Amino acid sequence: MRCGVCGRDELLPFKCAYCGEFFCAEHRIPEKHSCPGVFAAKSPEEIKRREARDETGWGYAVAPPHVARARERVFSADELGHLAAGAALVMLAGFALSRGVIFSPAITAFMLIGFAASFIAHELAHKFVALRRGLSARFKIYAFGAALTAITSLIVFIGLPFFIIIAPGAVVIWGAATHRHMGKVALAGPLTNIAIAIALIPLQPLLPQFPLRALAHINAFLAFFNLIPIGPLDGQKIMSWNTTIWVAAFVASLALFFAVRMVF
């Protein structure tokens, strides 16, 4: 397994107790890999002091040289491969959802590409907001999430009563980040899907209705689902930062989900 910092292959890597990533002996200490989870090990007083310093930007950790170089490239070859795999899995889920619906190959391609583009736009929104905050970020496929996406898609495709879980991967963040940082990074994804769903509404008279309705629904659903405040979803991070903003975003996504059903 490769070290999350230097990329060195390690037979027995160290797993960080805070961020869950794997590292070599040199970078196993949280401070050595700018661990975002080390924030949880601080006392409440230290957390308040760090958030107070957030306005001046003082609270950032200096990224190691290899991280800075990776940030300059924006996308590494590995990350592009992970994004392509994530897009393929989302297209598989979209194909399974369209099972039994007959339409032309062009409309099918439009819908599946739209599904993948919506997912990638959500993840890239997280990435670029994190980069603007001075953090390091890259999209990463997770074996369990990828398998869950593929298996549930196949179950639905063969006609069994089940629901598809679309969670092939996520954007991993490195750097010293406060609740405000992580909240804004988390909010960027659902807001992107909300914006896409709203932008599709005026296009209704110009393009075939079915793929537009499907894309608007999937974007509204992605926003709503990711704003649920449980586990690793975006809603939990946003609520930890600002409950009022979470409530506003959640209500907006829910209202949009039902509004799309009425418009199309």
- pLDDT tens-digit series, residues 140-196: 998 898 999 999 999 988 888 777 888 898 898 887 777 888 899 999 999 999 999
- Measure the CA–CA gap between 212 and 107, rounded to whole angstroms: 10
90 pLDDT above the threshold of 50: yes
Contact 125, 219 (CB under 8 A): no
For residues 145 and 32, state if they share a domain: no
Sorted by sequence, the CB contacts under 8 Å of residue 148 that are 6+ apart come out as 165, 167
For residues 100 and 114, state if they share a domain: yes
Alpha carbons within 13 A on the beta-carbon side of 126: 25
Query: Of the listed 26, 31, 46, 123, which one is catalytic?
Result: 123
What mean pLDDT comes out for the span 96-112? 74
- Measure the CA–CA gap between 71 and 181, rounded to whole angstroms: 18
Q: In the chain, what percentage of residues exceed pLDDT 90?
A: 28
- Measure the CA–CA gap between 106 and 251, rounded to whole angstroms: 35
pLDDT level of residue 36 (50, 70, 90 thresholds): low
Query: Is the full-model pTM beyond 0.75?
Result: no
pLDDT level of residue 81 (50, 70, 90 thresholds): very high
Active-site residue, 31 included: no
Q: What are phi and psi of 5, to 5 degrees?
A: -105, -60
In DSSP terms, 174 is beta-bridged to: 136
For residues 73 and 118, state if they share a domain: yes
Last residue of a domain, one of 63, 98, 116: 63
38 pLDDT above the threshold of 70: no
For residues 171 and 48, state if they share a domain: no
pLDDT level of residue 17 (50, 70, 90 thresholds): confident
- Strands (DSSP E) contained in the chain are 14-15, 22-23, 136-141, 169-174
Task: Report the chain's mean pLDDT, rounded to a whole number.
Answer: 79
For residues 12 and 123, state if they share a domain: no
What mean pLDDT comes out for the span 230-244? 89
Number of independent structural domains in the chain: 2
Radius of gyration of the chain (CA): 20
pLDDT level of residue 68 (50, 70, 90 thresholds): very low
For residues 133 and 71, state if they share a domain: yes
Last residue of a domain, one of 63, 90, 110: 63
What mean pLDDT comes out for the span 113-128? 93
For residues 140 and 246, state if they share a domain: yes
CATH number of the structural domain spanning residue 56: 4.10.1110.10
For residues 208 and 193, state if they share a domain: yes
Last residue of a domain, one of 34, 63, 92: 63
pLDDT number for residue 89: 93
247 pLDDT above the threshold of 90: yes
3-state SS, residue 137: strand
For residues 148 and 183, state if they share a domain: yes
For residues 57 and 90, state if they share a domain: no
Range of the domain at 36: 1-63
210 pLDDT above the threshold of 70: no
- Strands (DSSP E) contained in 1-84 are 14-15, 22-23
In DSSP terms, 236 is beta-bridged to: none
pLDDT number for residue 125: 95
3-state SS, residue 195: helix
Alpha carbons within 13 A on the beta-carbon side of 221: 12
For residues 125 and 25, state if they share a domain: no
For residues 240 and 257, state if they share a domain: yes
What mean pLDDT comes out for the span 11-32? 78
